[in-house]
Amino acid sequence: MFKKILTILLFAIFIMTGKTQSYWFGAKGGLAMNNQSWGAGFGNIGANRDAMFSFNGDLFLESYDEEKKGALYAQLGFHTRGSALRFFSFNNDFNTLSKYKFNNIVLELGAKKAFFSTDDYIPYMILGIRGEYTVGNNLGSVSQFAEIVNADYIRKFNYGVTFGGGFEMVMSELSNIFIEASIQPDYSLQYEHFGIENVRSPDPSSTERIDLPPTQVRNLSIEVKVGFKFLRKIEYID
């Protein structure tokens, strides 16, 4: 799997750098607010779905946009998707918060367009497509609700889009820093099962057996990142 990801990334780099030879490279990281839409019932207990926060990071390459017509970028990173679910019984016997985490390797390809530029900063927008592969999760450690969620139903491959924008600040001819915000909805499902029958209720005070309806979980993340980039500039001299 990692060989395939590396091959795709190298192919994207070849396309981006083949025309101009010059390109930007760098890293970015920051805070993500992760949410999920869950379509499951939880028997005789309730569940409040809260955001789960994580730190995500990427390495990227970006084509050199000397004429300000737009640039292409490719990036590879590690992102934690998920949500925080607060379970509570109706008679307040318990109230507990559980975080459902999915650790994903993320490959993103996209385009970047500057609105205008000054000597000090460059506002821009981005639009990209993502492919994600889940390399780990914490479902096994959520033992209190182990019968509700099961790692066997995780979908390893997911995809979605990224759109957002930011401000790039010029530090020198060969280096810039930037702050960027983006919204990253998934079109595919991170988790899906088709119904589970006759499971024990998660309510510790109950011995009831319940049937769970089909569950579909889709990711949505909002990220704010800070990054730095360096220019590998090639000049031809006659």
Mean pLDDT value across residues 69-83:
92
pLDDT winner (highest mean) among 6-20, 139-153, 182-196? 182-196
**Residue 216 — very low, low, confident or very high, per pLDDT cuts 50/70/90?**
confident
237 within a domain of the structure (yes/no): no
- Separation of first and last alpha carbons in the chain: 45
Tell me which of 43-57, 70-84, 224-238 is least confident.
43-57
Spatial contact of 166 and 123, defined as CB atoms under 8 Å apart = yes
Mean pLDDT value across residues 81-108:
78
38 within a domain of the structure (yes/no): yes
Confidence (pLDDT) at 65: 79
Q: Is the per-residue pLDDT at 95 higher than 70?
A: no
Domain coverage including residue 132? 2-232
Confidence (pLDDT) at 116: 78
Confidence (pLDDT) at 49: 75
103 within a domain of the structure (yes/no): yes
**Residue 204 — very low, low, confident or very high, per pLDDT cuts 50/70/90?**
low
Give the chain's domain count. 1
238 within a domain of the structure (yes/no): no
**Residue 148 — very low, low, confident or very high, per pLDDT cuts 50/70/90?**
low
131 within a domain of the structure (yes/no): yes
Mean pLDDT value across residues 47-64:
88
190 within a domain of the structure (yes/no): yes
Exposure b/e, 226-238, CB count within 10 A at least 16 = b: ebebebeeeeeee
Q: Which two tokens stand for residue 23?
A: 């390109």
39 within a domain of the structure (yes/no): yes
59 within a domain of the structure (yes/no): yes
Tell me which of 56-60, 71-75, 161-165, 209-213 is least confident.
209-213
Mean pLDDT value across residues 7-13:
59
**pLDDT tens, position by position, 157-193:** 999 999 999 999 999 888 999 999 999 999 999 988 8
Would the pTM of this model clear 0.85, i.e. be above it?
no
Give the CATH number, domain containing residue 142.
2.40.160.20
pLDDT winner (highest mean) among 45-54, 89-98, 181-190? 181-190
